[in-house]
Amino acid sequence: MILSDRHRFVFIHVPKCAGTSVRNAVRPYHDADERFLKAVERHPELGEIDFRHLPLRLLRDLDPEAFEKLKIYESYALLRDPFQRFRSAMSQRAKMYLGKEFAQLGPEEIREETENVIAYLNSEPEVIAPGFIHFARQSDFVRVDDVLLVRNLYPVERLDLLAVALGGHLGIERLEFGHINQTTTFRHPQLKHVMRQGSAMVRRILPQPAHQALRDTARRLFMRPSDPAVLPEFDDDGVRGFIESYYATDIALHREVLAELATQSYHSTGLEASTKPAPGP
């Protein structure tokens, strides 16, 4: 979360919704508690908490002052199609907790890890552990007790509109967002097993910083962003049914935001007026 008292705005970082790109652009404006910039911090009662990704209920309990500012200041967040987001969250989990690129996972590994994630989420933990925070419901970051608190919601498909709106609030023409943490796949599928075996061997030989640097270079050379419309690993009734059920509110919210933008565009282009019947003589 980025909170600026000077500029009176809050950016809520919903995991796996292009939030890292935006957070990096607006981080210089953050002048609140530094905890909101930390990845993980241990709470004496609640255990480990990812303070960069705080659901609003937790924000209310842990920092009532910041929660009140959220209700007063201009607030912004991005939303994403839950089906695409689930796959992206699986990719992030593979990198952070399995030590592999998503493209390096075999079908059985993907199924097994997907089942682990679904079982954990179905247990409805009071506080989602950092290892699963990327799977938390998007609605939990913009609503509390069914009340929508974040004023300005944008779909990741229209990141440009957020750049203009947030830039305008800060008094600049627009912000520039990079794109970080994309889900990737191999440019040449036959490299998958070679890279997987080589990565495991290099990890044993090189110190962690050198291994990470080599891994980043290999990703740039041999991998490319994957097509978000192609989701073969999750195209079965069980996974789709879980997403439709668990993220039902997120699906509806994302559709509402897209529909609202479409309506605004419809009005702003004058199409409404042009389709009205001409006045009679």
Kindly report, residue by residue over 199-255, the tens digit of the pLDDT: 556 666 766 556 555 655 655 555 455 554 444 667 788 999 999 999 999 999 999
Average pLDDT over residues 152-164: 92
Residue 158 token pair: 């229209």
Task: Calculate what percentage of the chain has a pLDDT beyond 70.
Answer: 74
What is this structure's pTM? 0.77
- pLDDT for residue 187: 47
CA angle (133 as vertex; 132, 136 as ends), nearest 5: 105
Residue of 181, 219, 175 whose CA lies nearest to 80: 181
111's tokens: 């199924």
Long-range pairs of 251-258 with CB within 8 A, sequence gap ≥ 24: 251/81, 251/82, 253/79, 253/138, 253/139, 253/142, 253/153, 254/79, 254/80, 254/81, 254/82, 254/138, 254/155, 257/79, 257/153, 257/154, 257/155, 258/155, 258/157
Whether the pLDDT of residue 186 is over 60: the answer is no
pLDDT at 266 over 70: no
Are 19 and 166 a contacting pair, CB within 8 Å? Answer: no
pLDDT of 279 reads: 46
pLDDT in tens, 113-153: 999 999 999 999 999 999 999 999 999 999 999 999 999 99
Please work out, in degrees rounded to the nearest 5, the angle formed at the alpha carbon of residue 47 by the alpha carbons of 42 and 52: 55
* Residue 31 binned pLDDT confidence (cut-offs 50, 70, 90): very high
**Predicted pLDDT at 212:** 53
Average pLDDT over residues 24-34: 92
pLDDT at 215: 56
- In 3D space, the residue among 255, 15, 19 whose CA is nearest the CA of residue 135 turns out to be 15
| Rounded average pLDDT over 59-82 | 96
Tell me what the mean pLDDT of segment 53-64 comes to: 95
The whole-number pLDDT of residue 121 equals: 97
What is the Cα–Cα distance from 184 to 161, expressed in whole angstroms?
25
Distance CA 231, CA 234 (A): 6
Q: What is the mean pLDDT of the chain?
A: 82
Query: pLDDT band for position 166 (50/70/90)?
Result: very high
